[in-house]
Amino acid sequence: MCILIAESAAPAALREITGAHAFLETNARPEIGRMVELRHPEAGSIQGRVIEVKDDGIGISLDRGENAVAFALAAIAADMSRP
């Protein structure tokens, strides 16, 4: 479980993540174009821009840099290590 920081903090679950994009299942609905922060308990935190809003969550664009790739790998590894 992650925390999405937009207008306020909201719980979020990562459905998919790469160094370029993440889709979060969340009840938060920040507007497209807004900068948000995603906090993962093991991967740390990263900022991204909202690029899509759907009924079940939001998509955010990440910068594709080293930090985004490291965040994605750490989040994937943390999820894979849980039974």
Segment 6-23, tens digit of pLDDT: 989 999 999 999 999 999
Instruction: State the pTM of this model.
Output: 0.90
Q: Is the dihedral of CA 51, 58, 68, 17 positive or negative?
A: negative
The proportion of the chain whose per-residue pLDDT surpasses 70, expressed as a percent, equals 96
pLDDT higher than threshold 90 for residue 42: yes
- Spans of all domains in the chain: 2-80
What are the backbone dihedrals phi and psi of residue 34, each rounded to the nearest 5 degrees, phi first? Answer: -75, 140
